[in-house]
């Protein structure tokens, strides 16, 4: 259902009495496996939580947990790459009597794209680009977001989104091996997969190490190739639910930013409403 109306809590800046900002109290990033909520305070995402999609009970519980740290009636900004789940959350938030702003097109973001079809790029990739540019201005950035899929994107030193690569995530690779073979079990990638013995000594270890080092190796290779395209050394930023796991195996120097996508959503709501 399309909702036209959006409401904002407008904070008057009492020092100048002329500036008005649109502030979100909660930002939400709807992924393909989980949804992430970020609690914002004084122009920053200060806390984030990963929640199941379409689970009103879990949402209510989390909203209640945050009640003491938030205004009675919150202002939300919601975006993501799973439109049906996104709209379910929007409707739920509205049913709770809170206000929602939706970001659903790249045109709402202050990002220039050098790609064939800007409309098709997942907004999570663009929020990452925006947040990276804000933190590392005038420096090329390579952003690795390890979730359901793994994306490796290049933002040039002028802040232009130059595109990137999309790889299957760790969970998807595991599911694919299980679904399309007779003998391979479904295995979880454990914490600290970089410590697993290589060569693997059983089927599970063989799958775990294969998936893990394929992802690490692929990401490292793409980062190296992208870095050769830039005139200045790029900063490599890691984010996403599996970001820490991936980072543990990467030999290159990186910056881990768990809230990168949520920060990009917060900035978009604040600056370009
Ligand atoms: N609480 C959790 N329950 C299950 N899996 C989890 C949980 N937290 C993280 N994960 C793992 O992290 C991955 C999710 O990463 P992340 O939350 O960054 O993105 P996502 O919700 O999968 O979707 P997207 O990549 O589209 O944002 C899943 O593939 C899963 O392996
Ligand atoms: C690649 C994912 C799944 C990563 O979350 C998402 O950004 C997406 O659905 N993208 C659409 C296609 C694209 O970005 O080119
Ligand atoms: K993501």
- The alpha carbon of 179 and the centre of ligand 1 are apart by a number of angstroms equal to 20
Backbone angles phi, psi at 173, to 5 degrees: -65, -40
- Give the residue among 149, 80, 162, 74 at the shortest CA–CA distance from 113: 162
Backbone angles phi, psi at 6, to 5 degrees: -130, 150
Q: How confident is the prediction for the chain on average, in pLDDT?
A: 92
The percent of residues above 70 in pLDDT, for the chain, comes to 91
Which among 28, 31, 34 is the best mutation to test ligand 1's pocket, defined by most ligand atoms within 8 Å of the CB?
34
- Which residue minimizes the CA distance to atom 5 of ligand 2? 149
- The alpha carbon of 79 and the centre of ligand 3 are apart by a number of angstroms equal to 11
CA–CA distance, 67 with 65 (Å, rounded to integer): 6
The three-point CA angle 209-125-40 to 5° equals 105
Catalytic residues: 124
Residues whose CB is less than 8 angstroms from the CB of residue 249 and which lie 6 or more positions away in sequence, other chains included: 193, 194, 212, 213, 216
Two domains, one topology: 10-104 and 109-264: yes
Closest ligand to the CA of 52? 1
CA–CA distance, 76 with 203 (Å, rounded to integer): 45
- Residue 15 pLDDT grade (very low, low, confident, very high; cuts 50, 70, 90): very low
Spell out the domain ranges in the chain.
10-104, 109-264
CA–CA distance, 180 with 155 (Å, rounded to integer): 36
Complex-level ipTM beyond the 0.90 threshold: no
Tokens of 32: 């393909």
Tokens of 165: 């690569």
Residue 86 burial (CB count, 10 A): 22
- 109-264: CATH topology is Nucleotidyltransferase; domain 5 (3.30.420)
Residue 4 has pLDDT above 50, yes or no: no
- Residue 120 pLDDT grade (very low, low, confident, very high; cuts 50, 70, 90): very high
Q: Are 239 and 261 in contact (CB under 8 A)?
A: yes
Which among 125, 143, 172 is the best mutation to test ligand 2's pocket, defined by most ligand atoms within 8 Å of the CB?
125
Burial 154-166 (b: 16+ CB within 10 A, else e): bbbbebbbbebbe
Entry field: residues in the chain:
273
The percent of residues above 90 in pLDDT, for the chain, comes to 90
- Give the residue among 243, 263, 18 at the shortest CA–CA distance from 136: 263
- Which residue minimizes the CA distance to atom 7 of ligand 2? 122
For ligand 2, whether the C-beta of 130 sits within 6 Å is: no
Residues whose CB is less than 8 angstroms from the CB of residue 136 and which lie 6 or more positions away in sequence, other chains included: 235, 237
Tokens of 154: 């290049």
Closest-lying ligand 1 atom to the alpha carbon of residue 36 = 17
Binding-site positions for K(+): 145
What is the CATH architecture assignment of 10-104? 2-Layer Sandwich (3.30)
pLDDT in tens, 124-178: 999 999 999 999 999 999 999 999 999 999 999 999 999 999 999 999 999 999 9
Residue 14 has pLDDT above 50, yes or no: no
């Amino acid at each position: 259902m399309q909702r036209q109306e959006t409401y904002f809590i407008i904070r008057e800046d009492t020092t100048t009495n002329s500036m008005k900002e649109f502030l979100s109290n909660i930002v939400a990033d709807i992924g393909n496996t989980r949804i992430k909520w970020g609690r914002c305070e004084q122009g920053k995402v200060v806390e984030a939580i990963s929640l199941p999609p379409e689970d009103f009970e879990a949402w209510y519980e989390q909203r209640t947990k945050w009640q003491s740290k938030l205004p009675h009636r919150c202002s939300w900004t919601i975006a993501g790459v799973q439109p049906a789940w996104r709209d379910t959350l929007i409707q739920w938030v509205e049913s709770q009597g809170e206000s929602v702003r939706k970001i659903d097109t790249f045109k709402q973001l202050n990002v220039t794209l050098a790609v064939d079809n800007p409309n098709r790029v997942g907004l999570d990739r663009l929020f990452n680009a925006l947040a990276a540019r804000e933190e590392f201005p005038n420096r090329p950035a390579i952003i690795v977001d390890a979730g359901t899929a793994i994306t490796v994107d290049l933002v040039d030193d002028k802040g232009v989104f130059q595109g990137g690569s999309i790889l299957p995530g760790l969970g998807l690779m595991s599911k694919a091996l299980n679904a399309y073979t007779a003998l391979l079990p479904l295995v979880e990638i454990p914490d600290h997969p970089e410590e697993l013995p290589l060569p693997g000594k059983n089927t599970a270890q063989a799958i775990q190490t294969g998936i893990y080092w394929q992802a690490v190796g692929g990401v490292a290779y793409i980062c190296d190739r992208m870095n050769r395209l830039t005139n200045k050394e790029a900063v490599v930023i890691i984010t996403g639910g599996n970001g820490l796991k991936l980072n543990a195996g990467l030999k290159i120097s990186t910056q881990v930013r768990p809230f990168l996508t949520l920060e990009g959503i917060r900035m978009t709501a604040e600056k370009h409403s």
